[in-house]
Amino acid sequence: MINFSAHLLIVDDDERIRMLLQKFLIRHGFLVTAARDAAHARRILAGLDFDLIVLDVMMPGEDGLSLCRALREMQTTPILLLTAKGETNNRVEGLEAGADDYLSKPFEPKELLLRINAILRRVPDVAVDQATPKILTLGSIRYDMERGEMWQGAELIRLTTTEMQLMKLFSSKRGEAISRAQLVEDLGRDRGQAQERAVDVQITRLRRKIEENSKQPRYLQTVRGAGYMLMPD
């Protein structure tokens, strides 16, 4: 049975690709809206909420990286970037801009489907029970383990889907080192050095949000030869 539970936004200036992806994803149970460029996407996003955004990097006018950065200032909707084959810099810049994953063109539609489903599975469930919240203190930062929320004073810190999942993993094993390979596996990604480097980029971005000095981390520490470890106060 088709289940239109997830609403996707496809942003690509190539009309043929837009139509193909829209039809393919609708056949696989998604509700899909398409935008022809960043400006069109901004107008759509002003009135609709989405479960995931598939965003092409190379577009005329405002490119996908710029739009990705702007969206991360306003929302935490997962973003999957479509990059040109071999454009390593685009992929790294995309992750630094807040994307949750990337896929190089040309790609098999089935791989796109698998990556979308993997990202949606990683979205943490927000706990309803508020009776006994578990709070971790990281200096001036408070992390609510049950809600998956991070606060600095009265300000809610926006986390990407991947950052939320990383905090969920680290907080469940605080004081224990987690290897890069294990993080890749727990995040539901393909194994390999490229994905481990992608995790390093996500760790760097997360440190900027929780550390006073991200280059000398106190709370999200690197354990030489073992991986990363969360050490709350």
Residue 17 pLDDT exceeds 50: yes
Say which CATH number the domain at 215 has: 1.10.10.10
- DSSP 8-class letter at 131: S
Q: Are 144 and 134 in contact (CB under 8 A)?
A: yes
For residues 3 and 99, the model is more confident at 99
For residues 5 and 99, the model is more confident at 99
What pLDDT was estimated at residue 4? 44
Among 122, 147, 181, identify where a domain stops.
122
Residue 2 lies in a domain: no
What pLDDT was estimated at residue 133? 45
Residue 2 pLDDT exceeds 50: no
What pLDDT was estimated at residue 13? 93
Residue 117 pLDDT exceeds 50: yes
Q: Are 116 and 54 in contact (CB under 8 A)?
A: yes
What pLDDT was estimated at residue 52? 94
What does the alpha-carbon distance between residue 101 and residue 162 come to, in Å, rounded to a whole number?
A: 9
In terms of Cα–Cα distance, which of 10, 72, 71 is closest to 42? 71
Residue 191: which pLDDT band, with cuts at 50, 70 and 90?
low
What pLDDT was estimated at residue 127? 41
Say which CATH number the domain at 98 has: 3.40.50.2300
Residue 195: which pLDDT band, with cuts at 50, 70 and 90?
confident
Residue 56 lies in a domain: yes
Classified as helix, coil or strand, 112 is: helix
What pLDDT was estimated at residue 88? 66
Q: Which amino acid is at 21?
A: L
Among 66, 94, 122, identify where a domain stops.
122
Task: State the average pLDDT for the chain.
Answer: 86
- Do 110 and 148 lie in one domain? The reply is no
What pLDDT was estimated at residue 19? 92
Positive or negative: CA dihedral 166, 172, 174, 178: negative
What does the alpha-carbon distance between residue 62 and residue 78 come to, in Å, rounded to a whole number?
A: 19
What pLDDT was estimated at residue 184? 87
- What is the residue whose two structure tokens read 């969206």? 71
* Arithmetic mean of pLDDT, 72-81: 89
Residue 55, strand partner residues = 11, 81
Model confidence, pTM? 0.59
**Tokens in use for 108?**
């098999």
Q: Are 57 and 82 in contact (CB under 8 A)?
A: yes
- Do 31 and 77 lie in one domain? The reply is yes
What does the alpha-carbon distance between residue 92 and residue 98 come to, in Å, rounded to a whole number?
A: 10
pLDDT tens, position by position, 143-190: 988 888 899 888 889 988 889 889 989 988 888 999 999 898 888 776
E strands present in 12-72: 31-35, 52-56
Positive or negative: CA dihedral 210, 200, 69, 50: negative
Residue 128: which pLDDT band, with cuts at 50, 70 and 90?
very low
E strands present in the chain: 7-11, 31-35, 52-56, 79-84, 101-105, 135-138, 141-144, 149-152, 155-157, 220-223, 227-230
What pLDDT was estimated at residue 202? 92
Residue 5: which pLDDT band, with cuts at 50, 70 and 90?
low
- Do 109 and 140 lie in one domain? The reply is no
Residue 130 lies in a domain: no
**Domain of 92, in residue numbers:** 7-122
The domain tally of the chain equals 2
What pLDDT was estimated at residue 220? 95
* Arithmetic mean of pLDDT, 218-224: 94
Q: Are 82 and 37 in contact (CB under 8 A)?
A: no
